[in-house]
């Protein structure tokens, strides 16, 4: 049995090493041995890494990324902490909308959200046409404004992390402080905040890591505002002539370094924070109705209108306009932008082949979702029910994969898979859709594993041990015992992986085959060419189609599971 567990554990560990850790390692090695992956073995030391302090674009990209990440993480955590505190303590009508908005922003691709803000706040945007507020443009298209926009799109990471820590009520500490004369704010500052410090630090780190690795916002801003970041400069280095792999490698090295520092800070802070305050007196937190609930609903509604209504509402409005600058008038309304999505020939360079790109993206996301679910199932099984010696490596790779941005993964894939010798063994995958599927698997595996680990944690190992004693192999135990019990989580993991794969702009930009259309690239390119009506119509159709498809698959899966239960699993 141990030999069988070792084979399964070793197999999935090897896959994660090849899909995730090897590309990351290639990026780091390229800094010390530049040209290694292109037939030039030479030791460059760390002199190339020090060039970032002497080259203006490299230095500015690093400064902008650090500034944006620090500001967005701090502001996003403050926003998430306030909203999580209100949501945990009070029961008001808009609270459920707050949860829904958090999940929508968490799933929505950042480049689509950023495009909505650009169309709203640009010099000829909707805020100028409808309200005449010229100050909005100067504010949004500045470092402070970018921090504000990024914080509004990333705060759900902090909100959900902090909200999860408020599940249990230990307010007896606060009551004791109040009996000694402490005021409500003093109780929150001296008791509640220190007790929830690990969740605040986790939320801050998550926002920081997601912001520093974000590619969508810089890609959307490139058309109207020059604000180079590490991720966009890496992309530019790959797609300029001549190609600057040295620049891309160095910037990717510093991007990884920032992520490592953030993770180290989180680990250090959590280990040195006392979080063992739950005892037998802790009970499930109960929300009470606030005295002025209308005020809570009003404030929450205005906030949701700003963070979600502006980007999504602007995109929906622009998609219905003939000309963006003519305003929302009856004569300017049209459905022509939607007709153009489906009536244009696939090879028409003016209309960019949206339908073809959508079908390609759906196919690649489907393949990535299915394979990531299967791999995640085996990983979750090995981590939960075996004593495989590869468990530590699996834990490390699955955690590291959460922090690797798509841009770093993309350049690592270029280094690894763009090798001439791979042609002789039939593995030259660079420039093929297969590499996009593999990259999609690498990006989706963290979510597939995390979703399934939750379900596996509720299962007892007694049944599996009994089956093993009776001679059942590990595959039979997976198939006949575990699979029927966790099939709902498998469906959720597949849908979550599908949703995260289909809108990945960074991997699509860096790994797409020649003359191969992909939906995120179609939208981004149309936006870059000022085809705003076409781009926003494609955004609305794409998001609506994916959400509808996920709902239909989830409903069909549940109905099928019920039918299996009624028929005894046959």
pLDDT computed for residue 179 by the predictor: 65
* Spatial separation of the C-alpha atoms in residues 376 and 498, rounded to whole Å: 13
pLDDT of residue 191: 64
Contacts of 318 (CB under 8 A, 6+ apart): 119, 126, 324, 532, 533, 536
Output the six-digit token pair for 277. 């305050």
The rounded distance, in Å, linking the Cα atoms of 366 and 494 is 9
Number of Cβ within 10 Å of residue 230's Cβ equals: 32
Q: Is 333 helix (H, G, I), strand (E, B) or coil?
A: strand
- Which architecture does CATH list for 54-276+290-319? Orthogonal Bundle (1.10)
Q: Do the domains 54-276+290-319 and 2-29+343-566 match in fold? A: yes
Answer for the pair 314, 108: CB distance below 8 angstroms, yes or no.
no
Q: How many CB atoms lie within 10 A of CB 2?
A: 10
Contact 478, 381 (CB under 8 A): yes
Which among 77, 106, 72 has a CA at the least distance from the CA of 204? 77
Residue pair 56/133 in contact by the 8 Å Cβ criterion: no
Rounded Cα distance, 312 and 305, in Å = 10
**Residue whose C-alpha is closest to residue 543's, from 505, 502, 488:** 502
Ranges of each domain in the chain: 2-29+343-566, 54-276+290-319
Q: What is the pLDDT of residue 365?
A: 92
pTM > 0.85: no
First to last CA, the chain: 28
- Identify the pLDDT of residue 167: 58
Helices (H) and strands (E) in the chain, counts: 30, 2
Q: What is the spatial distance between Cα 379 and Cα 398, in angstroms, rounded to a whole number?
A: 9
Q: Report the Cα 339 to chain-centroid distance in Å.
A: 31
Tell me if the domain spanning 2-29+343-566 has CATH number 1.10.3660.10: no
Q: Tokens 């979550």 correspond to what residue?
A: 496
CA distances from 20 to 50, 374, 413, 443 (A): 26, 16, 9, 8
Residues lower than pLDDT 70 in the chain: 1-3, 5, 35, 39-48, 164-185, 187-196, 241, 269-288, 325-328, 344-352, 454, 457-458, 565, 568-570
The DSSP code for 504 is -
Sort 131 into a burial class: Cβ within 10 Å, 0-12 / 13-18 / 19+.
exposed
Query: Residue 544: which residues within 8 A CB-CB, separation 6 or more?
Result: none
Contacts 24+ apart (CB under 8 A), 318-326: 318/119, 318/126, 318/532, 318/533, 318/536, 319/533, 319/536, 319/537, 319/539, 319/540, 321/533, 322/533, 324/119, 324/124, 324/125, 324/532, 324/533, 325/124, 325/129
Residues 217/407, Cβ–Cβ less than 8 Å: no
Rounded alpha-carbon distances, angstroms, from residue 359 to 340, 403, 525, 546: 16, 29, 17, 12
Closest CA to 154 of 85, 222, 102, 213: 102
Kindly compute the dihedral angle of the four CA atoms of residues 305, 310, 312, 318, in this order, to the nearest 10 degrees: 140
């Amino acid at each position: 049995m141990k030999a069988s567990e070792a084979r399964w554990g070793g197999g999935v560990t090897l896959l994660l090493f090849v899909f995730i850790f090897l590309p990351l390692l290639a990026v780091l090695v390229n800094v010390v041995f530049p040209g290694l992956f292109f037939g030039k073995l030479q030791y460059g030391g760390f002199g190339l890494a020090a060039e970032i302090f002497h080259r203006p674009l490299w230095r500015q990209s690093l400064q902008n990324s650090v500034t944006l990440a620090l500001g967005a993480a701090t502001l996003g955590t403050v926003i998430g902490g306030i909203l999580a505190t209100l949501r945990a303590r009070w029961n008001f009508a808009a609270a459920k909308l707050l949860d829904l908005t958090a999940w929508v922003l968490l799933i929505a691709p950042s480049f689509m959200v950023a495009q909505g803000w650009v169309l709203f706040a640009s010099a000829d945007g909707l805020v100028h046409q409808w309200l005449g507020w010229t100050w909005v443009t100067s504010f949004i298209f500045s470092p402070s404004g970018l921090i504000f926009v990024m914080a509004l799109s990333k705060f759900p990471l902090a909100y959900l992390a902090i909200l999860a820590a408020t599940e249990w009520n230990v307010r007896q500490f606060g009551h004791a402080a109040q009996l000694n004369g402490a005021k409500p704010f003093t109780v929150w500052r001296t008791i509640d905040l220190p007790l929830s410090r690990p969740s605040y630090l986790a939320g801050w780190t998550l926002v920081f890591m997601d912001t520093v690795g974000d590619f969508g916002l810089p890609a959307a801003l490139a058309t109207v505002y020059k604000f180079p970041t590490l991720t966009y400069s890496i992309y530019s280095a790959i797609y300029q002539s001549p190609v600057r792999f040295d620049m891309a490698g160095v910037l990717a090295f510093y991007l990884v370094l920032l992520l490592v520092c953030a993770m180290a800070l989180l680990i250090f802070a959590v280990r040195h924070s006392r979080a063992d305050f739950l005892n037998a007196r802790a009970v499930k937190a109960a929300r009470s109705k606030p005295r002025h609930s209308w005020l809570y609903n009003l404030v929450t509604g205005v906030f949701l209108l700003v963070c979600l209504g502006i980007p999504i509402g602007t995109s929906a409005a622009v998609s219905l306009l003939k000309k963006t600058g003519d305003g929302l008038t009856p004569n300017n309304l049209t459905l022509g932008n939607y007709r153009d999505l489906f009536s244009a020939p696939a090879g028409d360079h003016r209309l960019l082949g949206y339908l073809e790109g959508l079908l390609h993206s759906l196919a690649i996301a489907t393949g990535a979702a299915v394979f990531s679910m299967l791999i995640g199932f085996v990983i979750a099984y090995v981590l939960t029910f075996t004593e495989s010696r590869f468990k530590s490596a699996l834990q490390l790779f699955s955690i590291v994969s959460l922090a690797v941005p798509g841009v770093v993964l993309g350049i690592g894939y270029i280094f690894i898979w763009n090798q001439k010798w791979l042609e002789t063994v039939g593995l030259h995958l660079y420039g093929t859709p297969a590499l996009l599927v593999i990259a999609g698997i690498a990006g989706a595996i963290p979510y597939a594993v995390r979703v399934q680990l939750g379900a596996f944690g509720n299962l007892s190992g007694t049944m599996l041990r009994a089956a093993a004693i009776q001679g059942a192999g590990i595959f039979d135990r997976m198939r006949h015992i575990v699979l029927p019990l966790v099939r709902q989580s498998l469906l959720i993991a597949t849908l979550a992986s599908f949703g995260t794969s289909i809108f990945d702009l960074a991997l699509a930009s860096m790994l797409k085959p020649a003359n191969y259309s992909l939906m995120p690239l179609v939208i981004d390119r149309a936006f870059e060419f000022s085809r705003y009506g076409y781009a926003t119509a494609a955004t609305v159709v794409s998001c609506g189609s994916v959400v509808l498809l996920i709902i239909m698959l989830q409903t069909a899966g549940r109905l099928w599971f019920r039918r299996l239960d009624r028929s005894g699993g046959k």
